[in-house]
Amino acid sequence: MFRTGPVTVEVPATSANLGPGFDAFGLALDLTDTVTAELVPGGLEIEAAGEGADAVPVDESHLIIRSMRSTFDRLGGQPAGLRLTSENRIPHGRGLGSSAAAIVAGVLLARALVRGGAEQFDDAEVLALASELEGHPDNVAACLLGGFTIAWTTDGRGRAVRSEPKGVHPVLFIATESSSTHTARAALPPSVPHPDAAFNAARSALLALALTQGRTELLMSATEDRLHQPYRAAAMPASSALVAELRRAGIPAVISGAGSSVLALVGDQDQVTPARAYTPQGWRSLALAIGEGAALTAS
Ligand SMILES: Nc1ncnc2c1ncn2[C@@H]1O[C@H](COP(=O)(O)OP(=O)(O)O)[C@@H](O)[C@H]1O
Ligand SMILES: N[C@@H](CCOP(=O)(O)O)C(=O)O
């Protein structure tokens, strides 16, 4: 049933929400983790290097391993032994989709280690399982498909479409303090006022149009949000202050994912360097290209 491997996958960082598109919008970024898995006669070996390597567990609770286990279960059984190596470049707990990248890596690697895995478990199944493991589909959609994605859930299954953003140059401001997505989700109220829902419905539709048609002059209005950022602001004051400062300067900026990093969608390449001048002390900024979706690079 199994292939020994090794198999390797590149999985991109993602920025979710993009302001108004809470749990729906995602943007893949050209910053990737590289993860390799192979079957061994017995046991579990994990070797991690780079971002978060000292903090991740090296047992069955490791997120990539948990995602591989879930996938093997769907495909008919567990292998005798596993060896995993990862080169992590995506910072953890910074709103850059590191957990989504880990989950997508695990699902794709496990599928590739099963003979006929891709026939039994197609890409729609990968997205549905990865969304279930992550708890929301936006990051995993962008991680799998690349580009700008709109994700939704039907009958409990995550689904998504990809489109090509035009004329935007993402600049990431990576916070020094981490923020757990789980905690940031707990800060959200169970219901929101109807006018706020209407406010976001208009902005999210506008943002999809602005990104796909290259209407960068709409980005300031299109990135406004009342559904998640206001409720999370108190827990990440430095990030909220940076968003406000960038927006005062006319740069469309939002909290990346559940924070704590900030994403600016710069509409003019010449404005990338001036935007990076706003990087707070101790933070770092990266000007990144739009990313491609997860790809098996060796098998
Ligand atoms: N490459 C990885 N290997 C193992 N675990 C990972 C990896 N990337 C992320 N994780 C797990 O996901 C957690 C971060 O998830 P989360 O709080 O959702 O933040 P993020 O915004 O980075 O996705 C890390 O603390 C770690 O437990
Ligand atoms: N829609 C989610 C996105 C979380 O992204 P992450 O990169 O912080 O994991 C949310 O806002 O909770």
User: Each residue of 204-254: pLDDT tens digit?
Assistant: 999 999 999 999 999 999 999 999 999 999 999 999 999 999 999 999 999
pLDDT in tens, 23-71: 999 999 999 999 999 999 999 999 999 999 999 999 999 999 999 999 9
Q: Which residues are documented as binding site for ATP?
A: 91-101
Q: Complex ipTM above 0.95?
A: yes
- Nearest CA to 37 out of 70, 81, 95 is that of 81
Tell whether ligand 2 has an atom less than 6 A from the beta carbon of residue 15: no
Q: Are 160 and 152 in contact (CB under 8 A)?
A: yes
Residues in Cβ contact with 268 at an 8 Å cutoff, skipping those fewer than 6 apart: 169, 216
Atom of ligand 2 nearest to the CA of 257: 5
Nearest ligand to residue 55 Cα:
1
CA distance 128 to 94: 24
Let me know the angle formed at the C-alpha of 26 by 294 and 142, rounded to the nearest 5 degrees: 15
**Burial letters 25-52, b for 16+ CB under 10 A, else e:** bbbbbebbbbbbbbbeeeeeebebeebb
Helix or strand or coil: residue 150?
A: strand
- Residue 249: Cβ-neighbour burial (10 angstroms; 0-12, 13-18, 19+): middle
The ligand 1 site (C-beta within 6 Å) comprises 33, 52, 56, 62-64, 86, 88, 92-99, 102, 180-181, 257
- Write out the E strands in the chain: 7-17, 21-40, 43-50, 81-88, 148-154, 157-163, 169-174, 253-255, 262-266, 284-287, 295-298
The per-residue pLDDT for 298 is 65
Rounded to the nearest whole angstrom, what is the distance from the C-alpha of residue 98 to the centroid of ligand 1? 5
pLDDT in tens, 149-207: 999 999 999 999 999 999 999 999 999 999 999 999 999 999 999 999 999 999 999 99
Amino acid making up residue 266? V
17, 200, 260, best to mutate for ligand 2 pocket (most atoms within 8 Å of CB): 17
The per-residue pLDDT for 299 is 62
Q: Are 26 and 141 in contact (CB under 8 A)?
A: yes
Rounded to the nearest whole angstrom, what is the distance from the C-alpha of residue 272 to the centroid of ligand 2? 25
**Around Cβ 264, how many Cβ atoms within 10 Å?**
30
64, 99, 180, best to mutate for ligand 1 pocket (most atoms within 8 Å of CB): 99
Residue corresponding to tokens 């069955």: 60
The per-residue pLDDT for 297 is 83
Percent of the chain with pLDDT over 90: 99
Q: Are 147 and 162 in contact (CB under 8 A)?
A: yes
pLDDT in tens, 87-141: 999 999 999 999 999 999 999 999 999 999 999 999 999 999 999 999 999 999 9
The model's pTM is 0.98
pLDDT in tens, 61-85: 999 999 999 999 999 999 999 999 9
- Nearest CA to 63 out of 140, 120, 121 is that of 140
Residue corresponding to tokens 């990076």: 276
The per-residue pLDDT for 141 is 98
CA distance to 4, 7, 161, per residue, from 76 (Å): 16, 19, 29
